[in-house]
Amino acid sequence: MLKLISLVMAVIVWGLLSLTLPHEIFPGPIETTRTLWGDIAGGEVWTDLVMTLLRVAGGLVLALILGVPVGVVMGLNRRAEAVLDVWVMIGLTVPSLCYAIMAFIWFGLNEGAAIVAIAVTAAPSITINIWEGVKNVDTKLVAMARVFEASRPAIVRRVLLPQILPYIMASARFGLGIIWKITVLVELIGRPNGVGFKLFYWYQLADMRQVLAWTLLFTIIMLLIEVLILKPIERRVFAWRPQVAV
């Protein structure tokens, strides 16, 4: 309920603020929604939307594949931690634009290069999250499992993984937030379609109604993914957790 009120308030604030500027520069919510509706009814949004979502999904999967193992190794091995933490910091510092340019120049203007650029940008943040998670693993439970003669793979799968899983879920969620922002940038400089491409296209035509309509569209889609996909998964996976009453 509170969420709904805050959402309505935000729309009202947007409406009021838009009155301070000419409406072709800062269109209000009604005008933006009407433009968005026109785009959707015209059927031209779907290709761009689907391409962007595919890149986001591909980038997220690859970022997890790159980031999770490195984080696990860093959390388990002090020597690996000492060597890799500088590189994680460097990876985190290099702007996503640099990765995108390098990927497009080296691998060509194709989907593979786009996904690599997206994943490489997001992977260091995921690594940091997992690294912290693995360091927080309860070694007393590992000792318990060893007393019961559990094999090494069994300890990893049944004692370590369940403890790291919350951190993997958290990094997937916030990784998604970072990745969608990078994806738009990557599309802007090197892809012929997608939300980022469309945003740049309308920016060049100085059509703010379309720019805001596309922003609104993608924000709604990402919220739906959060509410309809990620939250239910989380609720299911962590059903065992006690409810915290504050």
Partner 1 sequence: MNSVIEVAALRKTFKGHDGTSRAVLKNLDLTVGAGEFLCILGPSGCGKSTLLNVLAGLDKVYEGRASVSGGRVGYLFQEPRLLPWLTANGNLDFALASCKVPTSRWSELKSRYLAMAGLSEFRDYYPHQISGGMAQRLALVRALCVEPGILLMDEPFSGLDEITARRIRSDLLAIWRETRKTIVFVTHNAYEACFLADRILVMSGGAFQHEMRVPIARPRSYDDPAIFTFSRDVIKAFGDEIERDPVPSAATESGSVNNLDRHTAARMNI
Return the H-helix or E-strand segment holding 115: helix 111-135
- Counting Cα atoms < 13 Å in the Cβ hemisphere of 53 gives 14
Under the criterion CB under 8 A, does residue 82 sit at the interface with partner 1? Answer: no
Which residue type does 204 have? Answer: Q
Q: Which stretch binds partner 1 (CB under 8 A): 107-115, 146-154, 204-212, 221-229?
A: 146-154
The residue among 154 and 206 lying less far from partner 1, judged by its C-beta, is 154
Under the criterion CB under 8 A, does residue 94 sit at the interface with partner 1? Answer: no
Nearest Cα residue to 218 out of 35, 52, 3, 29:
52
Helix (DSSP H) and strand (DSSP E) numbers for the chain? 12, 0
The residue among 54 and 155 lying less far from partner 1, judged by its C-beta, is 155
Nearest Cα residue to 59 out of 147, 10, 120, 14:
120
CA–CA gap between residue 141 and residue 145 (Å, rounded): 6
Under the criterion CB under 8 A, does residue 242 sit at the interface with partner 1? Answer: yes
The residue among 138 and 226 lying less far from partner 1, judged by its C-beta, is 138
CA–CA gap between residue 114 and residue 104 (Å, rounded): 7
The residue among 1 and 239 lying less far from partner 1, judged by its C-beta, is 239
Q: How far is the CB of 92 from partner 1 (least distance, A)?
A: 31
Under the criterion CB under 8 A, does residue 235 sit at the interface with partner 1? Answer: no
Under the criterion CB under 8 A, does residue 157 sit at the interface with partner 1? Answer: no
Q: How far is the CB of 130 from partner 1 (least distance, A)?
A: 18
Helix axes 208-225, 161-190, angle to 10 degrees: 160
Under the criterion CB under 8 A, does residue 150 sit at the interface with partner 1? Answer: yes
Binders of partner 1 among residues 124 to 143 (CB under 8 A) are 140-141, 143
Residues at the contact surface with partner 1, assessed by CB under 8 A: 140-141, 143-151, 154, 158-159, 162, 240-242
